Amino acid sequence: MDLWGARFKKELNSEVNSFNSCISFDSVFYKEDIQGSIAHVTMLAKQNIIEENDAKVIKETLQNIQKDIETGKLVIDRNAEDIHMFIEGELTKRIGDIGKKLHTARSRNDQVTLDTRLYLRDQIDTLTKALKSLIKTFCYKAKENLETVMPGYTHMQRAQPITFAHHLMAYSEMFLRDLGRLEDTKKRMNVLPLGSCALATTTYPIDRYLVQELLEFDSVSQNSLDAVSDRDYIIELLSNISMIMMHLSRISEEIILWSSWEFKFIELDDAFSTGSSIMPQKKNPDITELIRGKTGRVYGDLMQLLTVMKGLPLAYNKDTQEDKEAVFDALETSFVCINTFVPMLETLKVNKQNMKEAASNGFINATDCADYLTKKGVPFRSSYKITGQLVGYCIDNHKTLETLSLEEYKKASTLFEADIYEAISFENCVKNRKIIGGPSPEIVQEHIKNVLQKIERKD
């Protein structure tokens, strides 16, 4: 490479060159690289480190380079080592010696982490938008199902009655926390590394605060070795994305179960399911299976970078060039997953009747039966035992708590009256759980309202 030609007697071996190069994937930074260079050169002129006129020429040329890349007039050279070298090389090609002044008081080490921060903070905004539309979809679907009774499960065993709305809104909370984590990560990422140079800053009188302002960073990094060498902000983002995928994978797993013949709680729209090449009757939930599978892939991205970083001495090491593909892959994967999941959730049909039937089998109102006695003065452990015996009796006699006669109830306890049937009706079991966080339709309706407001406040 010409740039360090003075020190070397030979050209770089061509295989090593392509091994060493990352331009095939870091070319996405062209805009951020130019944006960073324009801020840098503005500051250099203001500090009288380079002449105002030279800065003007550099800025105009950089803008033209950007335009030419965007219109396809300038093709990014795949033989360049990286996007930074390519743009600087092109600048020098166009304006000669003036172009050579751009890299004063800067190194690719602070430049690359600057570009990455600029790029990722925008990507976080895009991911935030996608997550918000996902949360809204959960809210809208929940609104339609405030009274849709279904069994709630523990250990995959029918446990207590809830509503489909209550179940869906559990996910809105998870994704809201994911939103919060993205916000936090962006705050920690939004620190200007430029001015750290290769590792030890510079003797030029640069003004880092001016560059911070021009590039809208919240603060400037306080230790140059740290600024050029850590990639914790990328790991944090990868961990956020892994968590988003984990949540998406859990609901995907549920959708897979619910759409099976065994459950039949929901039916996927034809546009969001696939058939089998041999079994004509099949309707497969491929999208949700893929989301579940791709979650593993994103965890891999997180593990990759954690492992790349674990043994690196300070400061910059070329190993960190491996940070980019991992985070690009995780971002791209999460975008497709969310963007496919949203219309799939919007269009899925809810089989309310089957949910209710499932709720009716499995004695999921047994807690309410025990609570009925306890509210009449029986200590809970005794009510629990009486109800347990009633459930055993029902199983032996192929009955349910709803179909037992009052006489049968009275044999278990004389405190049972005709109002027991109301107390154990599934609708009432749900309605009477009016505690914050509970499934009662009025509580869930309020929850939906609050979540939608929270999201709008974040807009």
Active site residues: 155, 276
Nearest distance, CB of residue 199 and ligand ARG, angstroms = 10
Cα–Cα distance measured from residue 221 to residue 207, given in angstroms and rounded to the nearest whole number: 13
Considering only the C-alpha atoms of the chain, give the largest distance between any 2 of them, rounded to a whole number of Å.
Answer: 102
Shorter beta-carbon distance to ligand ARG: residue 110 or 254: 110
Nearest distance, CB of residue 208 and ligand ARG, angstroms = 20
Shorter beta-carbon distance to ligand ARG: residue 321 or 400: 321
Angle, CA of 453, 455 and 456, to the nearest 5°? 65
Alpha carbon of 243 to those of 129, 174, 247: distances in Å?
17, 9, 6
Nearest distance, CB of residue 93 and ligand ARG, angstroms = 20
Span interacting with ligand ARG, options 50-58, 264-272, 314-322, 406-414, rule CB under 6 A: 314-322
Which H helix or E strand runs over 183?
helix 164-189
20: nearest Cα among 73, 97, 80, 88: 80
Estimate the crossing angle of helix 286-309 against helix 232-258, to 10 degrees: 160
Interface characters, 119-158, with ligand ARG (x: CB under 6 A): ----------------------------------------
Span interacting with ligand ARG, options 160-168, 202-210, 316-324, 361-369, rule CB under 6 A: 316-324
Helix (H, G, I), strand (E, B) or coil at 219: strand
Of residues 128, 274, 321, 374, which one binds ligand ARG by CB under 6 A?
321
Of residues 196, 320, 360, 367, which one binds ligand ARG by CB under 6 A?
320
131: nearest Cα among 395, 407, 334, 396: 334
Nearest distance, CB of residue 99 and ligand ARG, angstroms = 19
Shorter beta-carbon distance to ligand ARG: residue 82 or 368: 82
Shorter beta-carbon distance to ligand ARG: residue 54 or 323: 323
Strands 266-267 and 349-350: antiparallel
Interface characters, 27-66, with ligand ARG (x: CB under 6 A): ----------------------------------------
Of residues 7, 318, 381, 457, which one binds ligand ARG by CB under 6 A?
318
Q: Does 309 bind ligand ARG (CB under 6 A)?
A: no
Cα–Cα distance measured from residue 294 to residue 123, given in angstroms and rounded to the nearest whole number: 19
Alpha carbon of 34 to those of 38, 128, 130, 311: distances in Å?
6, 25, 27, 32
Interface characters, 80-119, with ligand ARG (x: CB under 6 A): --x-------------------------xx--x-------
Q: Which residues pair with 349 in a beta bridge?
A: 267
CB of 57 within 8 A of CB of 41?
no
Span interacting with ligand ARG, options 127-135, 278-286, 312-320, 412-420, rule CB under 6 A: 312-320
Cα–Cα distance measured from residue 409 to residue 386, given in angstroms and rounded to the nearest whole number: 10
Shorter beta-carbon distance to ligand ARG: residue 61 or 109: 109
Applying CB under 6 A, the site for ligand ARG has a residue count of 9
Strands 349-350 and 219-220: unpaired
Question: Which letter does DSSP use for residue 147 in this model?
Answer: T
Nearest distance, CB of residue 6 and ligand ARG, angstroms = 16
Nearest distance, CB of residue 86 and ligand ARG, angstroms = 11
Which positions ≥6 away from 176 have C-beta within 8 Å? 135, 451, 454, 455
Cα–Cα distance measured from residue 434 to residue 423, given in angstroms and rounded to the nearest whole number: 14
Cα–Cα distance measured from residue 447 to residue 139, given in angstroms and rounded to the nearest whole number: 9
Q: Does 22 bind ligand ARG (CB under 6 A)?
A: yes
Shorter beta-carbon distance to ligand ARG: residue 128 or 317: 317
Shorter beta-carbon distance to ligand ARG: residue 224 or 360: 224
Nearest distance, CB of residue 87 and ligand ARG, angstroms = 12
Of residues 29, 164, 171, 316, which one binds ligand ARG by CB under 6 A?
316
Task: State the residues that interact with ligand ARG by CB under 6 A.
Answer: 22, 82, 108-109, 112, 316, 318, 320-321
